[in-house]
Structure 1
Amino acid sequence: MPEASASLVYVCDQWEIDLGRRELRSRGIPVPLGGRAFEIVTVLVQSASEFVTKDHMMERVWPGAIVGEGTLHVHISAVRKALGPDRGLLKTASGRGYRLLGSWTPQQRETTASSVLSSPVRTSGAPPPNNFPPLISRLVGRAAAAQSVRDLVSAYRVVTLTGPGGIGKTSLAIKAVRYLLTDFEDGAWLFELASLSDPDLVPSTVASTLGLKIAGEISAESVARAVGGRHILLVLDNCEHVIDAAANLAETITRLCPRTTIVATSREVLRIDGECVYRVPPLEVPTSGQAAPDYIMQYSAVELFVARTKALNAGFSPHAEDLASIAAICRHLDGMPLAIEFAAARAAVLSVQGVAAGLRDRFALLTAGRRTALPRHRTLRATLDWSYELLPETERRLLRRLAVFAGGFTVDAAVAVMTDTGFDASAVLDGIANLVAKSWVALDKSGGNAHWILLETIRAYTIEKLAEHAEADVAAEHHARHFRDLFVPQERGARSSLSDEDLARRVREIDNVRAALDWSFSPAGDHAIGIDLTAAYAPAWRHLSLMSECRERCERALLSLQSDATANTRLRMELQIALAASIFITMGPPDQATTLLTEALETAEALNDLHAQAGALSMLSPVYAFRGKYARALIAAEQIEQIARRIGDPIQLFLPNQHMGASLFVSGRPHEAQQYFERVLRSPAAPEDRRDAFYSNSNDHAVARAMLARALWTQGFTDQALNEARLSLKEQGTDHPLRLCRILNHGICRIAMVAGDFATADREIARLIEVATGLNALLWETAGRLLKGKLLVERGEFAQGLLVLRDAFKTCDRTGWHMSYDEFKGALALGLAGTGWLDEALIAVDDAMAADREGADGRGWYAPELLRIKGELLLQKAADQATLAAEDCFNQAAQMAREQGALSWELRTALSVARLRVSQGRRHEARALLASVYGRFTEGFATTDMQAARTLLDGLPP
């Protein structure tokens, strides 16, 4: 800086910009501002209120360097922060640059040794002095973090890197500032404070390392005065155990030494004026469920694990299976670098799989630190012990209790687990704030409400401490009671009412609920708490499509409840309905599901609870339908309709429409079914009212559209059917995978197949199987496999189709769920015929017709097609008697299709008869019959059946 400029002080109201001392002052008091940030202020004040473009600013402040706009924004933010309430003085013009507002008057003053700072002359080209350790290994995965720290260090006077033990604060600080050494003319110095047992030694340690000559008492102020105007960087490493002394020194130096910058690493922030806090993040870890090697290897936590393992075992080369285990290890270790390095050291000896298996006892496993590391960094337990011992006993006790939360906690929840300790809400909140400041607890910002978490490694450590102090069962009981009270209605007889917010709260707390239930049903637990909580949480399991878990939890609760003859009958009823729903989806024993629902219905009738009656019946109807008992399903649906009219709730009046539509369709009444589905679609959605969330939402438009599509196709409206099937997928989205399975099964998978769009059918059936398998929803997985087998038969791949169908039928026979038995037995018959097994094919179709007679008195939705298929099989026998029997089947099929209003089945039958008439030489008769049916269609002319009819008609005489 030219000497003339160095003697200038710019003044505007209370503010002064002293170019000689490189100070920004407010009312004569220096405001901490980093070196590069002060350069920005200098450029702006010397530009006489003119706009300074971004490019010009970067060229002036970082001459010859390439910096991004992000770096400039960090420094502009630091200047605004320094200006405080007058931050409006710094004006930003989007796309133009920056300007410093106000009337800044330059004042010349006499230059003195105390007013202008100078540095000792250093030999040209010699690097600034420093005591930083040499680089031994590359710091993996910290490039972005290091750049952020470098930007902050050049923008602020004091930067504190904070985070839990093992997160890599020291390594990151050294990596970041190493690139800034040339910015500090008088050097950069690292002060390792971990070995200090006496806080009073902090100033003398700094003085000794810097070689300061101090006469008299060594204190923070005497050290600061000795540093004076030197342009230096001080790194105070590991301040947490001497935090007050370190904060006092940093604050004093910041006040008295305008050209000194301080970087601190600490598990607790300094809390001084001008401090900028950087919370060191963990390394990035792969999300669960992603197994692709390229995906896993792009994460910094995995990169560190592999690099450190290779350094200790040159022959290590991870395979795909290893990478999946490494990803899981990194997730369990929260991306914490120190823990990952320990795990990598063990993997070099034990194998990756051995480390993955041993993480249950992570503190015994992760003990292979570097020999050169500080003692407290040589094992994971020692790292955490160091921080734990620094806490006051009140905070240790709170921390131990917080370990009981498996999925984070709110203040209310934390207060609940401290009930027996005398801590009130205020004390708990203060304690949480202190633990956050000391990096034991982290704030989870993913939810709408304040929610705190313990990293998994920290929680594992504090759970051990909880057990050591014999507090585990007490804390677990308070924890379980809190979530029972949070979710269970205050009045057991009151009707359950769940808003979207209620459901979201339940979903958010799933891990805590699981922990509460595990304790409740343990030998030391309280079964009554677990039973109440299980019943209250069932809607959330269903919403999350976790039906296997719902089944397991409800069965456990019912076993405990049934041992008590005086148990709450309403509670038993709720559990029975929830259990039956989960048995249905997981293909558990159908007789058990039916019995549970029948008993629940009897209880609901005894209690005169109409909503519970509707709930039990709404599960009974599909249970009957998926067992092939269509007549009983229709009776149950009719009962729901009667109950809904008694309730009188406009929303509940639409409850039976879905069930009536479904039951009428499978009973061979598609037009009536269509009317019920359209009523559902005309009804308004009620997203805020999930009162009956433990059974199907009566107002489910997407499912109604899918089932409407089937009713429309059956009646010959193929284009409309395809449109509704596609709309059902669009309306549903992917937010509820269990409902998506229903929509795929009832809608596009079937409609695309019968329309001849085999590519779409194949894609959506594969999607159904994939989603259902991921949910462990065996019902929908089996339905998908049955559809897959039918599609293969339709495409002429008979042998493969038979394999798939037979495998799916084994599941049906084993479980007792004969879903659409008539439809898929018909497909099996066609597959057998296609491979030459004609007799077996006739047996299969007779089995299907017997099932139809049992379930729907021989008049189910697929009955006309079964009769047509049997007729085709009989024709293949090539005997006169078989021909007569075939014609009788065709006549019955056509008559039944007309009675049902099933024009699509009627067309298929007309095609079969027309082909027979052509083979008999009765071509005019064939044309008349087929044309009379074809002429009644108004759409769907591009489908397979319609094109086959058109081709045949074109070849027949007029």
Structure 2
Amino acid sequence: MPERQMLLLAGHPVRIGGRALDILVTLVERSGEIVGKRELMARVWPDTLVEEGNLKVNMNALRRALGEGPGAPVYIATVVGRGYRFVAPVTVTEEAVFTPAVDPPRRHNLPTASTRLVGRKEEMAQIARDIGETRLVTIVGPGGIGKTTLALAVAETILDQHADGLWLIDLAPLKDGGLVAGAIATVVGLSTDSGSTEAAVADQLRGRQMLLVLDSCEHLIDGVAVLVDQILLRAPGVRFLATSREPLRVTGERVRRLGGLDAPGKSAGLTAAEALTFPAVQLFVQRATDQLETFRLSDADAAGVAGICRRLDGLALAIEMAATQIDAFGVAGLHDEVEHRLRLLEGRRGGAERHRTLAATIDWSYALLAEDEKRALRCLATFASSFRLDAAGAVAATAGHGADAFVGIVGRLVAKSLLSAEVRDRSVVYRLLDTTRDFAIAKLAEAGELDNARRRHAEFTLRSIEQAEPGPGTVIDWSDRCSQTIDDIREALRWAFGPSGDAGLAIRLTVEAIRYWKQLSLPEECRVAAERALDDRYAKWRDRTDDLILNMTLGATLLHTRGPMAEVKEALGKALAIAEDIGDAELQLECLSGLSEYELWTGDSRSAMAIAEKIQALSGRGPSVADGGADAPAGSALSWMGALGAARRRLEGIVRRPVSALSRDPGARFDLDQRLTALGTLATVQWLQGFPDEAQATAETQLREAEASNDAVSLCCALLHGSQIIAMYRRDYEAAWQHYTRGRAHADRHGLRIWRNMADCSCGRLRLYAGRPFDLAAYGQALEEVRSGGFRMRYPNYLTNYGEALARQGDLASGLAAVDEAIALCEANGQVVGIPEILRIKANMIRFGDPARGAEAADLYRLSIARARADGSLSWELRSTISLVRHCRGRGGDDDAEAMLAATYARFTEGFGSGDLVRARALLDARNQSAGRSD
């Protein structure tokens, strides 16, 4: 009914703003036509210059009034870039036909909702129930969390439950608690002639049945509490729903603390559909779409939007403000801006003054604090993550607060929603929201207190990590404790290495933090930190032990992130020289273990064995330098050299020792886990010796223990150098592919570039044998990266895969040249255990690529068998014998080869379900059946 400025639904007026109704009238008059945005704005705001955002806000309010939403009828269609069209059927009728219902007496003053509540259904239902059960419910939470929006949404659902109405009293504009009673009287329509306004209001409300919504009580908390208490006593029919940043602390109050909207955690491969199941993302997308009609959340942007919502702590106001910048920055740019600048959130032009910017919202709370509370909040902002009361006291209590008084200050900051508190491990931990922390840090700098507070924080962080011990429990327990500290370590290091920092403190922090980086599988971060600490600029702040540990750490992290580069040996060599000079046998052992691993990775088994002998010489020279320390490196070296029996004895000496609840010292630095390394090598040795089932069981043990260790390198090793290899040996290509996929993703996630390249190279053979696509160019590039990184331990295997792929694609000569190079590398470095298989593959290439050279292929098979026998490698012997029998049967048969296959198969005692044994059994059965038919 445009003449009466009224919209009816079933005869009852619909609550709708005047501007929104004008937009509706304009669109209905032009039903089916596109009405441009400028034309609408000129019609609705004829004498006012407004921005397009005003039209969007009112259009959203209109859609809500019409009930548009998922599954509901659509009335208005957006024509992107042009305007809007009313698409529902329209019937024009004389006004006299309409008989509106008689308007009921005015029973509330709730505003028309300008936004739709997102993600608070459970809270709404709970608070609605609370109001039915108790007379005072207070929604408590930090500024911008959405307290007012939630309170209004709850009030909308219970409008008809109070005979004398439901009334909103906005207390934000008031500056004096004595004015609260007058504000209530004015809204409800009371007369207050008594000298005591509070008492008069309470008396006049006696006998009434109503709900009073008191919004923004925190700055008038004492006055509000006194008045509410009087009304609760004198007017039993009156109930209250309050919003505040701290409780009123009135008898009978039920407090509902409001947290941020749920947002996705950090997750690789997050899709848009998955992200949109979280309320924080839903809110962002709704507001972004309001701002930019063409915005749609894509899979590519899902992780970015999730990161924005997490960084903003799920604060509804902050998310809304960020989303309005989508047209200026896009998701990626907005993510970066939110990460670095709180001032980006410039906010709304309308609404309460305290909500116009996020900074103003926080400033509103900050201004209400006492001076000692402000000082404490500023200092606590130096913590990058959660903290306990003792930590808070160490950093903030010395800033002019006594210990006892400080406990009270922390309690008041929690009550006022500027600190959050939660129970963890039977104690209370505290944290600031990121948005509050950013604000408080700025205030700390303004007050000239930043460096002093940062120093206290860095000194406390150093003391805490120096004193921390894993203690009883699991590796996961220790990892959880490390993860709770790592962000503060990073903050302390950032300041300590900075222009106003303390280089001596920075060096001590770096050395003590090494075990934290190790336990959290952050080798690349640790490598960068060690390199920085070893810079010549900081030499005068380091002692010899610092140099030893930093070089040893640099060598280990470089090895597992970049490969066996020359810098690895240089760093480990420096560390070893210092350890020998100061006579520290423990650290000598760590350095020698690292050098042994380095030599194995370069493919030099003989040098690795020589280092193992040095380790053996250290036995008994320290309290924990026990016999057997050389077993793991010696066992690995011997296995590559083909001495399988000796290798197995050494390796079993490691793995058969009792395993404690923690398989290794969880507080250790980036040393190598000898047991896990030995398990992987032992699995290979067992398979080579002809025990496929034992090998699989050992690989499974290695993987299980690596997973429990929470160590990135150990898990990569178990997946790629243990389980994947054994699965391929057993010809279980599906399992091998799963291990590869997981190992590759794990290496990527932890920045282990050399392991990623090794994964891609080891996958070459898997692709060839499992019939998967093989990208020769990409494989060649990965091979070159491994080679340039100095890695030679498995490089001949990878090179053989490359040669086989070349031959399969028709370039037999280049393929054979690659395989011959692989054999030469094995012979030169003493890593000869794989030569029988390489010879077999070379024979296959000739057999299929140049059938005229069949005799040469047969000779290579027999050479492979002979070398396998010499090493005691029954599995290589069986595999080559199978290939020889197949080759000979294609050329008329060979009784010696057939007898050899039967004899080799008979020496196996297990593993009859593995691929090679199944194939051998099939060949033997086929020959027996053929012989039976001939009989």
The answer to whether TM tops 0.5 is: yes
Shift of 1:195: 1.1
Match of 2:420 in 1: 442
Q: Note if 1:929 corresponds to 2:907.
A: no
Asked if residue 597 in structure 1 is aligned to residue 575 in structure 2, the reply is no
Q: Give the structure 1 partner of residue 529 of structure 2.
A: 553
Q: State the distance in 1 between where 2:470 and 2:590 align.
A: 12
Q: Letter of the 1:773 partner, please give it.
A: D
Q: How many angstroms does 1:911 deviate by?
A: 3.1
1:331 pairs, out of 279, 296, 310, with: 310
Q: Deviations over 1:770-808 (max 9, x none)?
A: 1111111112211211111111233466x8264453122
Matches of 2:223 and 2:850, distance apart in 1: 103
Give the distance between the partners of 1:937 and 1:653, measured in 2 at CA: 34
Aligned partner of 2:739 in structure 1 is 764
Classify the secondary structure of the residue corresponding to 1:800. coil
Question: Partner of 1:439: helix, strand, or coil?
Answer: coil
Distance 2:667 2:741 in 1: 31
SS in 2 for 1:421: coil
Residue 512 of structure 2 aligns with which residue? Answer: 536
8 Å CA contact 1:915–1:926 kept in 2: the answer is no
Letter paired with 1:911: I
Q: Distance in 2 between matches of 1:609 and 1:497?
A: 25
2:315 partner amino acid:
M
Question: Could you say what secondary structure the match of 2:240 adopts?
Answer: strand
Give per-residue Cα distances to partners, 1:625-659, cap 9 Å, x unaligned: 1111112223333433443444464x955654443
Instruction: Tell me the CA shift for residue 127 of structure 1.
Output: 7.1
Determine whether 1:903 maps to 2:866.
Answer: no
Offset at residue 303 of structure 1 (A): 1.6
* C-alpha distance in structure 2 between counterparts of 1:613 and 1:183, whole Å: 79
Contact map agreement 1:654 1:699 (CA 8 A) in 2: no
Q: Which residue of 1 aligns with 2:791?
A: 817
Alignment partner of 2:542 out of 567, 579, 589: 567
Whole-angstrom distance in 2 between the partners of 1:498 and 1:670:
38
Which amino acid is the alignment partner of residue 828 of structure 1? Answer: Y
Deviation at 1:876, TM superposition (A): 6.9
Unaligned runs of 5+ in 2: 1-100
Which of the residues 638, 645, 650 maps onto 1:671? 645
1:293 maps to 2:269: no
CA 756–220 in structure 1, closer or farther in 2 if over 3 Å, else same: same
* Corresponding residue for residue 270 of structure 1: 248
- What do residues 94-152 of structure 1 show as CA deviations (whole Å, max 9, x unaligned)? xxxxxxxxxxxxxxxxxxxxxxxxxxxxx999578222223333222222211121122
Give the C-alpha shift of residue 815 in structure 1: 1.7
Q: In the aligned structure 1, how far is the partner of 2:428 from the partner of 2:357?
A: 33
Among residues 175, 181, 185, which one is paired with 1:207 in the alignment?
Answer: 185
C-alpha distance in 2 between matches for 1:808 and 1:524 = 44
2:608 to 625, 629, 633: 633
Instruction: Pick closer, same or farther for the CA change 1:171–1:846 going to 2, 3 Å.
Output: same
Task: State whether structure 2 residue 345 is matched by structure 1 residue 366.
Answer: yes
1:827 aligns with 2:806: no
What's the TM-score once normalised by structure 2's chain length? 0.82
Q: Which amino acid counterpart does residue 345 of structure 2 have in structure 1?
A: L
CA contact (8 A) 2:291 2:326 kept: no
Deviations 1:523-556 (A, max 9, x none): 2211111111111111221222211111111110
SS in 1 for 2:774: helix
1:159 deviation in Å?
1.1
2:409 maps to which residue? Answer: 431
The aligned counterpart of 1:159 is 137
Shift of 1:889: 4.8
Classify the secondary structure of the residue corresponding to 1:236.
strand
What is the alpha-carbon distance in structure 2 between the residues aligned to residue 320 and residue 948 of structure 1?
A: 46
- Deviation of 1:512 (Å): 0.7
8 Å contact 2:519–2:666 — kept in the other structure? no
Distance 1:916 1:297 in 2: 59
**Cα 1:745–1:525, aligned 2, differ >3 Å: closer, same or farther?**
same
Does residue 481 of the first structure (1) align with residue 459 of the second (2)?
A: yes
Q: How does 1:753-792 map to 2 (within 5 A)?
A: 753-792=728-767
1:344 to 296, 314, 323: 323
Q: Are the structure 2 counterparts of residues 681 and 351 from structure 1 closer, same or farther at C-alpha, using a change threshold of 3 Å? A: closer
Q: Look up the equivalent residue of 2:296 and give its one-letter code.
A: S
Query: Which of the residues 838, 841, 850 maps onto 1:866?
Result: 838
Moved more, 448-457 or 213-222: 213-222
Partner of 1:715: 689
Q: Note the alpha carbon deviations across 1:46-82, whole angstroms, 9 max, x for none.
A: xxxxxxxxxxxxxxxxxxxxxxxxxxxxxxxxxxxxx
In the TM superposition, what is the alpha-carbon distance from 1:583 to its structure 2 partner?
0.4
- For the 8 Å contact 1:618–1:695, the answer to whether it is kept is no
Q: Distance in 2 between matches of 1:327 and 1:489?
A: 36
Which among 489, 499, 502 is matched to residue 523 of structure 1? 499
Of 698, 702, 724, the match for 1:749: 724
Name the residue aligned to 1:405: 383
Q: How far apart in 1 are the matches of 2:111 and 2:847?
A: 91
Change (3 A) 1:132 1:879: closer
CA distance in 2, matches of 1:339, 1:877: 67
| Distance (whole Å) between structure 1 residues aligned to residue 446 and residue 844 of structure 2 | 77
Give the aligned partner of residue 484 of structure 2. Answer: 508
Amino acid at match of 1:707: T
Task: Name the CA distance, whole Å, in 2 between partners of 1:398 and 1:334.
Answer: 21
Greater mean deviation of Cα atoms: 689-698 or 612-621: 689-698
Contact 2:786 2:795 in 1 (8 A): no
Q: 1: CA distance between counterparts of 2:205 and 2:536?
A: 73
Aligned amino acid, residue 291 of structure 1: L
User: What do the CA deviations read for 1:576-608 (whole angstroms, capped 9, x no partner)?
Assistant: 121111101111562111111122122222222
**TM-aligned CA distance change 1:263 to 1:441, over 3 Å:** same
Alpha-carbon RMSD? 3.0
Distance 1:427 1:560 in 2: 46
| TM-score calculated relative to the size of structure 1 | 0.80
Determine the C-alpha separation between the residues in 2 that align with 1:497 and 1:825: 47
Cα pair 2:470 2:478 within 8 Å, conserved: no
1: CA distance between counterparts of 2:601 and 2:196? 86
CA contact (8 A) 2:312 2:435 kept: yes
Post-superposition Cα deviations, 1:182-232, rounded to whole Å, max 9, x if no partner, equal: 222222222111111111112222233333344431243343233223222
